[in-house]
């Protein structure tokens, strides 16, 4: 990816939301970087709201995000867990479930680089044969495809 020296601006309030159950997201894509606001409403849980859509037992996408409000509990496939709250920065590897905790929605902003951010992920390669592209509307944060935001994060932001 090459550096783009020009200033750019996007506004998360001006883009259409993509929702699955009690989880929604808005994505703005600038030159090589996507920023996605994800909201887990009260009672939202990845395994309830996105598991069937994603077609996996747990979220198989990595995430880097800053929590703005509420609390998100993340449980890894190995059983380890962590709560993330306001101003916590999350780095989540593939293989997790997540849900909002308490009576306040959890809102976080996720960052990713490039349209092919998840293309190198072994899980993605296994799930989508060479040349195949996800067609769902929810794609991973930062992706410009058509799933969780138009591509694969939107694919099951886990």
The model's pLDDT over 60-117, given as tens digits with 9 standing for 90+, comes to 989 999 999 999 999 999 999 999 999 999 999 999 999 999 999 999 999 987 433 3
Phi, psi of 51 (to 5 degrees): -55, -50
Fill in the DSSP letter of residue 134: -
The model's pLDDT over 19-72, given as tens digits with 9 standing for 90+, comes to 999 999 999 998 888 999 999 999 999 999 999 999 999 999 899 999 999 999
pTM over 0.85: no
Q: At a CB cut-off of 8 Å and minimum separation 6, what does 138 contact?
A: 18, 20, 25, 50, 53, 147, 148, 149, 153, 154, 155, 156, 157
Phi, psi of 4 (to 5 degrees): -110, 115
Domains of the chain, residue spans: 17-127
Q: Does domain 17-127 have CATH number 3.30.43.10?
A: no
């Amino acid at each position: 990816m090459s550096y783009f020296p020009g200033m750019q601006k996007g506004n998360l309030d001006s883009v259409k939301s993509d929702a699955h159950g009690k989880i929604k997201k808005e994505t703005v894509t600038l030159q090589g970087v996507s920023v996605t606001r994800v909201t887990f409403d009260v009672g939202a849980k990845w395994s309830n709201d996105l598991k069937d859509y994603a077609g996996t037992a747990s979220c198989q996408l990595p995430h880097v995000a800053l929590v703005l409000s509420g609390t998100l509990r993340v449980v890894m496939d190995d059983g380890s867990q962590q709560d993330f709250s306001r101003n916590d920065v999350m780095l989540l590897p593939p293989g997790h479930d997540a849900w909002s905790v308490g009576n306040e929605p959890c809102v976080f902003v996720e960052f990713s680089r490039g349209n092919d951010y998840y293309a190198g992920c072994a899980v993605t390669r296994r799930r989508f044969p060479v040349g195949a592209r996800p067609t769902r509307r929810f794609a991973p944060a930062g992706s410009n495809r058509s799933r969780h935001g138009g591509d694969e994060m939107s694919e099951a932001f886990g």
